[in-house]
Amino acid sequence: MRPRDPRPKVPVTIDGDDAEAFEGETILDLARRVGVPIPTLCYLDGLSVHGGCRLCSVEVDGDPRLQLACATPVGQDMDIRTNSFELREHRRRIVELLFAEGNHVCATCVSSGACELQDLAVETEVDHIHYELSHANEGIDASHPKYVLDRDRCVRCTRCVRVCAEVEGASVWEMAERGGNSRLVAEMDVPWGDASSCTWCGKCVLVCPTGALSFKGRAIGEMRHDPDVIAFLAQARAEEEWVHPSDEEVSL
């Protein structure tokens, strides 16, 4: 039987339904716990909160600003709306902009059919782009023996940056420059294959939501990511599952 959560609870309303939130949890935590879907892209269990994609924005009664569900803690008697017409339009425009600023031609992508951006386009009903395409042409970095980086498919979610620094501890990746000119770089902007700090662990590839990072040798539609493994690793480390040997190991 699961032990009772000792945290105090506060009453809130989410999409018109009463709920009890735990003090300290975010709106996104609450929504996922009670089964209310809120789209995300940069957020990933097991990593620090980035709040860059803005897809998880919600409305809170009494505040004219949109709030990030991944970074906003619940409050007493908070009235939260997650699926208004304005929010749906807000998310649709974000997805359109992500497609417009990159080179996301699904028919030629290794992650087609297993891409979170592609799924978001379906969810937000994006079937064409209203914005001028940037025709990104950053090129492909295939210098690494195991992996490939296609910057034109990068959505700047920084999942790879955070997992490399926070879980693997290598800090290979960083975002260089700002705004529309920002791009993913290895170390001090060297080819990935020349990055001496890379441990070849592949965690950055596993968490990438698009076809920007992939394993070499994958053809169109063959790349499958596994971001859930990071939450498993983070929880196992927090609980020190691999630190204390079992009784059987001690007896050997």
Using a 10 angstrom Cβ sphere, with 0-12 exposed, 13-18 middle and 19 or more buried, the burial of residue 169 is exposed
The alpha carbon of 25 is separated from its chain's Cα centroid by a whole number of angstroms, namely: 18
Q: Of all helices (H) and strands (E), which one includes residue 183?
A: strand 183-186
Q: What is the DSSP letter of 132?
A: P
Q: Which two three-digit tokens encode residue 114?
A: 């297993």
pLDDT in tens, 78-111: 999 999 999 999 999 999 999 999 999 999 999 9
Domain boundaries, the chain: 9-83, 105-238
Quick one: pLDDT at residue 243? 59
Give pTM, 2 decimals.
0.89
Specify the fold of 9-83: Ubiquitin-like (UB roll) (3.10.20)
Q: For the beta carbon of residue 116, count every other beta carbon within 10 angstroms.
A: 20
CATH node for 105-238 = 3.30.70.20
Task: Please determine, for residue 247, whether its predicted confidence score (pLDDT) is greater than 60.
Answer: no
Q: Which residue has the higher pLDDT, 128 or 242?
A: 128
pLDDT in tens, 181-227: 899 999 999 999 999 999 999 999 999 999 999 999 999 999 999 99
Task: Please determine, for residue 147, whether its predicted confidence score (pLDDT) is greater than 70.
Answer: yes
Q: What's the Cα-to-Cα distance from 229 to each of 13, 119, 234, rounded to whole Å?
A: 32, 20, 9
Q: Do strands 140-141 and 173-176 pair parallel, antiparallel, or not at all (unpaired)?
A: unpaired
